[in-house]
Structure 1
């Protein structure tokens, strides 16, 4: 078994003499046992194991000493932290990138019949390096399924003499233009995605450039490019280009956008560009494709080599506006739940749909359920069996004559996170202004909004609560809102409410 090759690391929180808070540490979202993490990197599936690498500071709770941390999972839910995979040194910091299983050993890094894992990462060269100040792309490889890594002696393999050329996402292209590796990276300050090709991961040839387009209010980072069927039809596909940016997200600060279009092996052509150039039109932001409408889903990238053709994505559940000061101790930042994404036709256009890999699908138990309940104006608190700090809530609502209808999450007295739907405007909102500790940064208290049409007069919600976060999936993942919250330990109550008129609670299930 591949997992036996990788020793499990004892979590730092379990070691004698180490104090770390547990109030906010998630149960089902990955966190490093201690210290800082940010962007997911090198997501790859190999020999039955999902590998999650990530930007990590092994020495502190804020950004710095950037290295690739490493975690593994057999199910995308339970993660085992591993030793640091690719550490920084006096010459370079190890910035974001991707990893591939080089099944044909095009790189020549494989030993015998072993399929090498190859990491393609950004070398951020330090003052002591001959390339000081540059960002260029480099390789490391593993012949023991990710347990140990060796940097390629010929690094960097792609250098544009740029200070902001980073975040390579690499995949194998097999189409009318040929068969080769494609690298999708960014010139961050120029808001451009640049594409290259290679036969062996070592020598790269320029293909094309995309952008600037749509949201350009911050630097572009962490791109991804992949093909998906529309409505499950393998004969009808579109290419998805993901571009994260910070600041300039739809909810403020960090965010992720996507474009739909075609890729011919050379250039990506967008079919969903609304505005072009560096002058962003803030009045049209809601027209762009957004991965998430909350404030805490950034640097999202997908797994390479995922089984059964699934496209699985993970994002950093934080925001650069306040990421360094969130009120945790001993550790900082978590990853989102893994999400399976697909394309579907809704309202006559093709959109991205997302469904969380459910951490409670197998081990959870339904603790509260009701259906067909009228909701007169006011708030109805649910019984104790519906409360908790780690829950999945499935609700279906008919707004009826109500001006607003929704849920109060993680509530106690005046402390609450409000998930509300306004049928007059068709807008779903997540209000964390009274969610608990919001004073640690002026940008944290927020109300995030997304337009969500009713379907046959109903709104379907799936909500994941996990100690310091809320992930909302509306209308089967047509829209998502992801936000951190830091409530008091007693804030565990759940309520349903209607304002200004009556509504109907079609169904409600609580699982924990």
Structure 2
């Protein structure tokens, strides 16, 4: 396994990966489909790659689920279990209800929405409709997120109109025939085109159901470039009505195309994950034979924050089972030596009004520095030669609180994910260490604990796939 290959985050064994697609629990497994180039390490020949997991963390990669074919790229979309058989795509005697994917087929300056079906619990797939089921005759019209809306007894799909900065809301009784119900936007951040919408319910702390509309922006995010924004509001089966202004879902540089899981076995649970990357430099990352990783899956919730409702994100509870040895943290110049490249899980409490500096160091020097001071959080990372726009300091305003600041920090070989105030703030950044991180240094009044995390990704031999050890050493 190379020095940059994540140990607890999903990567494909080889080739290019971007947006998660078709996240669904079916056939007793969590399925992760994703934008994938089965031929090379850059964006092209778009297909749906496929991996499954029993626990959202331990992934097994499978054959391509929906392959590219001449004139038909398989772009992003979603998957649902058709429990009631409304689609007519199942057959008598099937061991599972049909799993139906609605995806964007792209070619010849035209994008429209198509169906594919799996009759064995999401394992193998067939293209279900030679013609699109939803077509606006447009060049840019993509990324359907589809779900069953029980109160209105219909399927709902939100599909983005990227150039217009709008999201179309469509309804269907059977996933085949669709009608326009409403249009949302432009609103919030509109500096760049919109992509990858999602619409999902969450219970607030009073037990009331609220709805969250999420869409990604191609420019204008907090650290520049791509990012994700969301609104909290109401959905009546036809239109989404926001009840507060747009907010950023993540304050880092590398959080894009997050989508929620369908048909989770735990009632009321909501989980999503995102592509951990930025289009500012995604094609420049010095990894081989793979390129692209997913964030950790995250449990979602809603909490009041004085000016409305804040979306919370926390690493899925299953991550706790990977914890191993622990070390108490107390700050004041404390140094903690760790096995080079070891995944870590830190919990920290910073007293109200205090400051913190947490530095991650390799044999090459500082690889990341997390700071808290004066009502803001900063995350600094150096950048390797040849990856423009990577190095810098990312500044995050913290909510006004009169209590201690809780932080959770997840470190992997090439990433850091920070969660503050119970997940009201998340910061997701890639790292490209010159060599594996082996030391933590804490300055400031802080208490906490750091756990080692058991690696769960396969120990692929990247060198055997055509990469030398030198190829994974990042120079500065």
TM-score w.r.t. structure 1 length? 0.85
Give the equivalent residue in structure 1 for 2:104: 122
> Partners in 2 of 1:207 and 1:162 — Cα distance?
18
Q: Which moved more, 1:299-308 or 1:55-64?
A: 299-308
> Partners in 2 of 1:387 and 1:84 — Cα distance?
33
Give the equivalent residue in structure 1 for 2:176: 202
> Partners in 1 of 2:451 and 2:335 — Cα distance?
11
Give the equivalent residue in structure 1 for 2:351: 398
CA displacement at 1:348 relative to structure 2? 4.7
The two structures, once aligned, show a CA RMSD in angstroms of 1.8
Is the Cα contact below 8 Å between 1:369 and 1:507 reproduced in 2? Answer: yes
Change (3 A) 1:304 1:72: same
Is the Cα contact below 8 Å between 1:28 and 1:359 reproduced in 2? Answer: no
- Alignment pair present for 1:485 and 2:468: no
Give the equivalent residue in structure 2 for 1:305: 263
Residue 146 of structure 1: which of 122, 133, 137 is its match?
A: 122
- Alignment pair present for 1:223 and 2:164: no
Give the equivalent residue in structure 2 for 1:265: 237
Between the two proteins, the alignment pairs up a number of residues equal to 450
Give the equivalent residue in structure 2 for 1:128: none
> Partners in 2 of 1:302 and 1:374 — Cα distance?
37
After TM superposition, list the pairs within 5 Å mapping 1:5-404 onto structure 2.
Answer: 22-112=2-92, 113=94, 114-125=96-107, 132-175=108-151, 178-231=152-205, 233-234=206-207, 236-273=208-245, 288-308=246-266, 309-357=268-316, 360-370=319-329, 373=330, 375=332, 380-385=333-338, 388-398=341-351, 400=353, 404=355
Give the equivalent residue in structure 2 for 1:505: 446
Is the Cα contact below 8 Å between 1:388 and 1:493 reproduced in 2? Answer: no
Tell me, which stretches of 5 or more residues in structure 1 are unaligned?
A: 1-20, 126-131, 274-287, 499-503
SS of the residue corresponding to residue 324 of structure 1 reads: helix
> Partners in 2 of 1:447 and 1:66 — Cα distance?
33
> Partners in 2 of 1:386 and 1:490 — Cα distance?
9
SS of the residue corresponding to residue 313 of structure 2 reads: strand
After TM superposition, list the pairs within 5 Å mapping 1:418-497 onto structure 2.
Answer: 418-422=369-373, 424=374, 426-432=375-381, 434=382, 437-453=383-399, 455-497=401-443
CA displacement at 1:327 relative to structure 2? 1.1
Q: Which moved more, 1:383-392 or 1:244-253?
A: 383-392
Change (3 A) 1:34 1:496: same
> Partners in 2 of 1:73 and 1:510 — Cα distance?
23
SS of the residue corresponding to residue 6 of structure 2 reads: coil
Deviation track 1:392-444 (CA, whole Å, cap 9, x = no partner) reads 111112265x6x4221124446323110011x2x1111111x3xx43222211
Deviation track 1:361-397 (CA, whole Å, cap 9, x = no partner) reads 1132133114xx473xxxx241325875311111112
Change (3 A) 1:222 1:157: same
Deviation track 1:170-223 (CA, whole Å, cap 9, x = no partner) reads 001122xx2100010011111000011000100001111000001011110000
SS of the residue corresponding to residue 154 of structure 2 reads: strand
> Partners in 1 of 2:400 and 2:265 — Cα distance?
34
> Partners in 1 of 2:363 and 2:2 — Cα distance?
20
> Partners in 2 of 1:44 and 1:266 — Cα distance?
24
Deviation track 1:330-353 (CA, whole Å, cap 9, x = no partner) reads 000100000010111123521101
SS of the residue corresponding to residue 320 of structure 2 reads: coil
Is the Cα contact below 8 Å between 2:339 and 2:438 reproduced in 1? Answer: no
Change (3 A) 1:321 1:385: closer
Is the Cα contact below 8 Å between 2:341 and 2:436 reproduced in 1? Answer: no
Tell me, which stretches of 5 or more residues in structure 2 are unaligned?
A: 454-476
Deviation track 1:467-511 (CA, whole Å, cap 9, x = no partner) reads 00000011110101000011122532101124xxxxx22333333
> Partners in 1 of 2:16 and 2:364 — Cα distance?
33
SS of the residue corresponding to residue 150 of structure 2 reads: strand
Is the Cα contact below 8 Å between 1:208 and 1:267 reproduced in 2? Answer: yes
